[in-house]
Amino acid sequence: MTVLFAYKLGGLCLFFMGFTALILRSHPLKKIMAVNVMAAGVFLLFIAMACHGRVGVAIDPVPQAMVLTGIVVSVSVTALALVLACRIQETSGGAGSSEGEHPPQGDS
Amino acid sequence: MNSLSLTLFDCVVLVTLLGLAWQLLATPDLFKAMVLFMSFGLVMALAWVRLAAPDVALAEAALGAGLTGPLFLSALHRLRGTRKGERRQQLDSIEHRGKIEKVTQRTSGRIIYLLLRILFAGLLLTLLVHLATILLHVEYENPGLGVFVAEQQEESGVISPVTAVLLNFRGYDTLLEIMVLFVAVVAVWSLATVRFSEKSGQVSPIQQGVVRILAPLMILVAVSLIWQGTHLAGGAFQGGAVLAAAGVLMMVSELPWLRLIPSLPVRLMLVFGPLVFLGLGVSCLADGRFLEYPGELAGFLILLIELACGLSIGLTLACLFVGGRPVDDLVDRGQLEEGS
Amino acid sequence: MREVLDLTGIVLIVCGLPFFLSGSLGLLRFPDIFTRLHALTKADNVGLGLIVLGLICQAGSLFEALRLLMVWLLVLIASSASCHLIARSALEKNIKPWMRS
C-alpha cells in the first residue's frame, strides 16, 4: 500500500514538475518535453490507481488499455507539435519569441 | 527479504524517475535534455513493469523511449539548421532571461519577481499536498472493471485481457486512436515538405552494415509482437512501434533503395489498417452491431485487424519521424519549382 | 544438479557486477569522451555477458537460454556500432583525445 502510494505521489510530482516547466520555460522544444512529462505523470497516477491493494498484482486491463492508447496519442501529438514548432521558427525567425523583429515570410 | 529488496527497487526507480524529470526540465542544454528524456522513458518502462502493466511497459520502451527521442533530435537538428551559427536555439530562454534581468535590476522589480515566484510555488505545493492527502485517504469500494472483463474473456476470442479490451470491448477507442494517428500524418504532411532524396553521404559504412543486420531482426520481432498480442503482452501498437523504429534506422542510415519507394504504395499502406478495421467493423453490421464480432470468428478477426493496423501504425510513425511530406517524384518536384 | 547450476549462476552474476560498476565509474570519472566510451562499451559488455551466462544457468528451457544469448549478442552489436558512431562524430567535431599534461 505504501509503495503504491509512493508511485501515485511520484505521478503527481511529475505532473506538477511538467506543469511548472511548461509555464517557466520559453523554448518550444522544452514546452513540448514538459507536456510529455505531464502526460507520463498522469499515466503513472492512473495505472497506480488501478492497482488494487499491492504493487505487482495483476491489475484491471481497462486502464492499461486506456494508458496504451494515451501513450500512442501523446507520441502523435508530440510529432505534430514538433513540426509546428519548426514551422513557427521558419516563418517567424525566432524560437517561439513573440517579438516581431523578422516579418513573417510567406512561402508556399 | 524479497519484498524488502523489491521495495528498495521501487524506491530507486521512483527517485531516478523524479531526478531525471527534474534534470531534463531544468537543464538549459537542449541536447542534454533530450538524452535525459530518452532515459526517462526507459525508467518509466521499468516502473510499468513494477506496476504489473507489461503491455504499457513495451509500448513505453518502444514509443516513449525509442521513437519520441529521435523525433525530438530530428526537430532540434532542423531548428538549428534554419539559423546556423547561432547558439540562441541551443540555449533555452536567453532572451526571456534577458528581459527578466532588465526588470530585476531594480530592487522593487526584484522583490516583486521573487514574491511572484514564491506565490506560484506555494500555490502549486498546496495543490500537490491536497491532492496527495486525497489520494492517501481515498478508499476503493468497487473492484473496477477487471471483473467484468474476466467474465466476458471467453467471448472475446483472445486470451490477453488488454487486447480483448483494446480490440473487442472498446474497439471504438482503438479505431478512433488509429484515426488520430492518421490525422496527425495528414497534418504533418500539410505543414511541411521534406526533400527525402537529399543525401548527406556522411553515413558510416559500419552503421549501414549494422542496420542491414538489425532491420530484418526488428521486423521479425515486430511481427512476433503483433502475433503475441492475442495471448501475451504485445499487440499492434508495440509491434508497429518496433516496425517504425526499424524504418527510422533505415532512413537515418540512408540505405540506397529507400529512395526508390514510390509514394502511392506508401499512401495506400497508410490507410490500409484503418480501412481493414473499419471494413470489418461495418461488415459486423450484417448480423449484429458495429464492431461486434461474431463469437467463433472473433479471434481470427482480431488477429487480422492487428496485423493490418500494426503495419499501418509502423508506417504512420515512420512518416511522423520524417516530419513532412516527402517531395521526391518528378511531379512533386516540378510543382515545387513552379511554386518557388 | 539444480543446486550446482544455481550456484554457478549466482557466482557468474556476482562476477559480472564489478565490471558494470567499473564501467559506470569510468563513465562518470574519465576525463574525455574517448576514454568514457572505452569504459562503457568494454567493461559493460563483459559485465552483461557474465550476467547473461549466470541467467542462462538458471533458465528453464533451451529456448529461454537462446533468447538470453540473443539479447547479449544484440547488445554487443548495438553498443559497438554506437561507440563507433559517437567516436566518429567526436573526431569530426575535432575533439582532441585527452593527454596527460
**Using a CB-CB distance cutoff of 8 angstroms, which residues of chain B are in contact with residue C77?**
210, 213-214
What confidence category does residue A10 fall into, taking pLDDT thresholds of 50, 70 and 90?
very high
Single-letter residue type at B142: N
Domain ranges of chain B: 1-92, 94-139, 160-340
**B226 near A CB under 8 A:** no
pLDDT for position B197: 59
A98 confidence band (pLDDT: 50, 70, 90): very low
- B256-259 CB contacts, 8 Å cutoff, 24+ apart: B259/B196, B259/B197, B259/B328
**Cβ atoms within 10 Å of B18's Cβ, excluding its own:** 18
* A103/B108: higher pLDDT: B108
Average pLDDT value for residue range C4-28: 90
Q: How far is C100 from chain B (nearest CA, A)?
A: 27
> Does pLDDT of B265 surpass 50?
yes
Instruction: Convert the pLDDT of each residue in B312-333 to its tens digit.
Output: 999 999 989 888 887 765 455 5
> What's the ipTM?
0.84
Give the tens place of pLDDT for each residue, A59-77: 778 888 889 999 999 999 9
**Alpha-carbon span B174 to A71, nearest angstrom:** 12
Three cell numbers, residue B247: 524504418
Neighboring chain C residues of B206 at a CB cutoff of 8 Å: 81, 84-85
pLDDT category of residue B337 using cuts at 50, 70 and 90? low
pLDDT of res. B181: 92
Nearest CA-CA partner of B240 in B188, B321, B168, B315: B315
- Say if B217 is an interface residue toward chain C (CB within 8 Å): yes
Q: What pLDDT is recorded for position B82?
A: 60
Q: Higher-confidence residue: B4 or A33? A: A33
Q: Flag if B217 and C77 touch (Cβ within 8 Å).
A: no
Interatomic CA distance for residues C22 and C42, integer angstroms? 10
Q: Quick one: average pLDDT of B59-76?
A: 88
Do C81 and B217 lie within an 8 Å CB cutoff?
A: no
Inter-chain residue contact B47 with A80, CB threshold 8 Å: no
CB contact under 8 A, C74 and B204: no
* Beta carbons of B210 and C78 less than 8 Å apart: yes
Question: Which of A13-22, B93-102, B143-152 has the least mean pLDDT?
Answer: B93-102
**What pLDDT does residue C11 have?**
92
Instruction: Tell me the domains of chain A and their CATH numbers.
Output: 2-92 (1.10.287)
Cell of B68: 519520441
